[in-house]
Structure 1
Amino acid sequence: MINWLYKNWAKLCVLIAIILTIFIIVFIKTEDTVLFLIWIQIPVYLLHQFEEHARNGFKNYINKKVFRVQEGDFPLNDKTIFWINIPIIWILMPTFAFLSSIDMMFGLWIPYFAVLNSLSHVIFSIRNWEYNPGLIVSLILGIPVGAYALIVFYSNITVPMIISILSIFFALLLHIIIFGYIRMNYKKQDKAQIDSI
């Protein structure tokens, strides 16, 4: 069962995004624009995950184009991709979105995370002058919806400077952890291959 999930979880993202969007429209009042925009980041990110991982495009792109590994399934494989994405997007984001109904400040990092991640795809695309899996949703939804959420957030709520700094720091920290985890896998596998020679 778990191996099936490792290979197929991303294919479920569109269906889950649709169901979650309906749930958000029904249960989160659209009049509460800030809370609505925090929650809506999650289905947008699910669509982003579908573009990245449903056809193994992101895995192959990172392994072959970024780390130049032509043989073998590293530093990214189905298992590592699953454990990078599920805790952050499927657990952490909904938890903090729920906490935002108690105090909106809990959710400020979510649109920051979405914008930062989307911008990384755009920057990578410009630098390499090519498509990378995740770019289309980043351009069409990730950056516009995330940036709009931040604009509305700051327009309607007085946010203490420390909360803004912590939110940006947390969004950056998650990206650093992800990149560090991928790089650690690369070095570990690379060392294992050298030791086996």
Structure 2
Amino acid sequence: MLNLISFCLFLSFISFVLTQWMKLKTGQNLPPGPTKLPLIGNMHRLVGAVPYVTLRDLSKQYGKELMHLQLGEVSVVVVSSAEVAKLFLKTHDLDFASRPRILAGDEVFYERSDLVFSPYGEYWRQMRKVCMTELLSARTVRSFSYIRQDESHRLLDRVRSSSRAGRPINIVDEVTSFMSSVVCRAAFGSDAYKEFTTME
């Protein structure tokens, strides 16, 4: 019985790999790019180096203005020219304003009904207007200034006490704690970040 289950799993894995391989092979009207591997595409070329340097070197080899990469199941076009980038970001910006449809946007965010994953259109413009007037207005930002001041004083007190005791200070951790505390206090009214870290 175990051998039968193992064989079925092996067959399903092989069929999945072949399906992905065929998807990668049938891309049409795409810019030139490096050879892809099944499942991971070109992700192996971006590991272990600074990504923008790797992309620059690949674009010199495969296409000075446009290059196609396959990152897992996501098809990516890399633009390396200012003139072509202007076409994407300014001339035809409405064609590229929406984010690609992914499963997380459909399942977690109720068919992409949030601001981040919703497609560009009237609904997105209304959501942005609500965010700008209710969340990001100058009056709302000023109303949370006491939280920022309080957390700044706490950060300075921690740095002072560590320096007086001769202990090293990890600035990255301190700034991360500061920002997380400000966001948690503004969003939830209490420092949920510190409560969570003290529980650990």
TM-score by length of 2: 0.23
TM-score (normalizing by structure 1): 0.23
More strand per residue: 1 or 2?
A: 2
Which of structures 1 and 2 has the larger relative contact order (alpha carbons within 8 angstroms, sep 6+)? 1
Larger Rg: 2
